[in-house]
Amino acid sequence: EECMANGTIKPGSICKSIAWDWMYTGTTEKGIHEEVSYALSCARLAKKHGVQSLAIPESCIIQMANHHIAQHKILSNFPLQSKPSDLTFLKGIFPTLKGILQDQISEIHEKTEISKTDPFVEVVFLPDAKKDPQKVTIDPFGNDFFCKICQQELSNIYMHCEGCESLLQKDFNICTGCHGNDETRLKNITMHPNRPIIGTSA
């Protein structure tokens, strides 16, 4: 405001940038739970307002669980451990992690049942997030893994258009929620840079 007042910067020329570099996770079980829950709630609030989150909290929480489980197995026989301990950290993220995984398991069961009668739906149990990053063209922990329709993070499960990949060499992923909603699933999406909209996301 001061720069605008003295004429150094003209109105409308200010660019705000927010960087997501790290997240404080706390040092106690309660504190850790509150911190990861807050990060997840911020991402969900962004989705509610149609804005892509700068963070990927679901993916981070799942990866943190994998890391601290491995650390706990290795260091459980040693008296000296980092503070907080891996076990404290796992207890802190457990309620949030449990909620994420329960929702995703429910979605997987639902899509598995749908795939039995719908030839256009196939459940693949090895997502790109588990593939060798040196052999895939997309970054499963970057901007490729947000829903193309509602901007939700795609941490473990998502719907992938094989036609877009084979015909256009473009990656088209949407969340299971948008795929299950005709109003959003049938939304017109331009995938080819040189052609007008001629189809839908279905």
Alpha helix stretches (DSSP H) within the chain: 2-5, 29-48, 57-75, 86-115, 162-168, 176-179, 182-185
Which residue bears the tokens 């473990």?
A: 156
Structure confidence at residue 199 (pLDDT) = 43
pLDDT in tens, 148-175: 888 888 888 888 888 887 887 777 888 9
Q: What is the pLDDT of residue 10?
A: 65
Q: Which two tokens stand for residue 151?
A: 């901007």
**pTM of the entire predicted model:** 0.70
The pLDDT of 6-33, averaged and rounded, is 70
User: Nearest-CA neighbor of 155 among 82, 101, 94?
Assistant: 101
Per residue in 114-143, pLDDT tens? 989 988 888 877 665 566 666 665 665 655
Residues 199 and 118: their CA atoms lie apart, in Å, by 20
pLDDT of residue 193: 53
At 78-90, the pLDDT tens digits run 666 567 788 898 9
**Residue 26 backbone dihedrals phi, psi, to 5 degrees:** 85, 175
